[in-house]
Amino acid sequence: MHLQAGELVIVVVLFALVSGLGFMASRWRRASHDSLEEWALAGRGFRSWTSWFVVGGDLYTAYTYVAVPALLFGSGAIGFYALPYVAIEYPLVFLIMIRLWSVSKAHGYVTAADFVRARFDSPTLALAVAVTGIVATMPYIALNLLGIQAVLTTIGINGHWPLIVAFAVLAAFTYKSGVRAPALIAFVKDSLVYLVIAVAIIYIPYKLGGWTHIFNTYNAHFKAKPPHTAALLTSANQWQYITLALGSAFAIFLYPHSVTGVLTTKNRAVIKRTLAALPIYSFILGLIALFGVMAIAGKIKPLAGPNGKPDTNTVVPSLFQHLFPHWFTGVAFATIVIGALVPAAFMSIAAANLTEGIEPPKSHWAQPIDTPPYYGIAMRPGITFTYMGVAVTQQARVLCTDGTTFANVFAAGEIMSGNILSTGYLAGFGLTIGSVWGRIAGEEAARHAHDG
């Protein structure tokens, strides 16, 4: 295939611009001190608007933009699994991630492995979580490489050297700026995504003869192929559809980069607002999936991949190249390439967080004891309280030995527990009588003070 120089120039220029933005991000909301929390989570300071771009840019990757339509192109209706999966996903996140954020914020945890180690007091289990996260993240990064590779193949570039250069640059600005780099780039990436989708979803149907023609062609295409069910699911792939949707919904926020994106938020309210607005991305994903339908109507043929076989991941880039002028195709291709940078940076940061001994140094709010002189003091724990000490009336007034009450002495909690329990003790009893009798004693004391 001939090299499309104009498209390549636009991709390179936009890639260079966002890479520069990634290096400059180190000065964005820069903290007065360096720590792992600042580098990896931006000090947990992202507000709603930023968080929405960050979490959305983290979850919706370059591979999403090419693979979901490619699945619809090659296999039909099963490709729409991506829509119910995101609908199932967000309620689950509401149940789990908000609580995880609160505990992580309170104790300074940066990763799920930190949480597991403290919660279960098990370094072995924490190690297993960390290793599983790294092993799961590496293929995810590779999938984003496939998205970039599909663009390069369509432009007419072969070989892996552009991928090596792209990810060397990504590693450099991620190391320098931490999570602030992909966060800032996410604004550019998603703005380009919305622009390209808005234009394509109107322009492509216009060029292909309208939506009716597109869906009729799509149905006819799959009706002519075994098992001849047009665009409907079949008995052979219904379980695949179900397990893909459910498995993806349960798994997506177990990936370290998804946890990292949520932990960058400022507070619980920000998480709620972010998750409430994320279905906008789901709607965009549905529009992106339709590119696979349009590619069939446009009679797009997959290009040969590095292995010499047709690569369906190239159908979306080929669709744009077939229907749009070169300058807009270049913008669309740059959007896919930039779309790989944000999640790949988050994945790299998340994987790095799962290790000890990195720079900046990791801490859990602990300070090293490394400067003499050192002193030791013998100590032992103890607890002192009065139990079952006094008798009270139903108004919590303390009784004298002669049966009369003190005028202005009230009691609640353990000191008067003998009035209810003469022997023994019940779990949680102290909290109960402290709450109930504390209210009674407080009201009676206030009434006494008011009445004089």
- Looking at the chain, how many residues does it have? 452
**DSSP type of residue 314:** G
pLDDT above 90 for 184: no
Give pLDDT tens digits for 265-293. Answer: 888 889 888 888 888 888 888 898 899 99
What confidence score (pLDDT) does residue 331 get? 93
Q: H or E element: which one contains 452? A: none
Residue 311: strand, helix, or coil: strand
> Over the chain, what is the mean pLDDT?
82
Measured over the CA atoms of residue 152, residue 17, residue 68 and residue 257, the dihedral's sign is positive
What confidence score (pLDDT) does residue 345 get? 79
Residue 408: strand, helix, or coil: strand
Instruction: For residue 124, count other CB atoms closer than 10 A to its CB.
Output: 9
Separation of alpha carbons 77 and 293, rounded Å: 10
Give pLDDT tens digits for 216-244. Answer: 999 898 888 877 766 778 777 888 888 88
E strands, 327-424, are 397-399, 405-410
Average pLDDT over residues 76-85: 84
Structural domains in the chain?
5-227+235-353 (1.20.1740), 397-451 (no CATH)
Amino acid sitting at position 326: H
pLDDT band, very low/low/confident/very high, at 318 (cuts 50, 70, 90): very high
Average pLDDT over residues 179-203: 89
What confidence score (pLDDT) does residue 108 get? 83
DSSP string, 103-171: HHHHHT--SHHHHHHHHHT-HHHHHHHHHHHHHHHHHHHHHHHHHHHHHHHHHT--SSHHHHHHHHHHH
Distance of CA 311 to the CA centre of its chain: 29
What is the reported pTM?
0.71
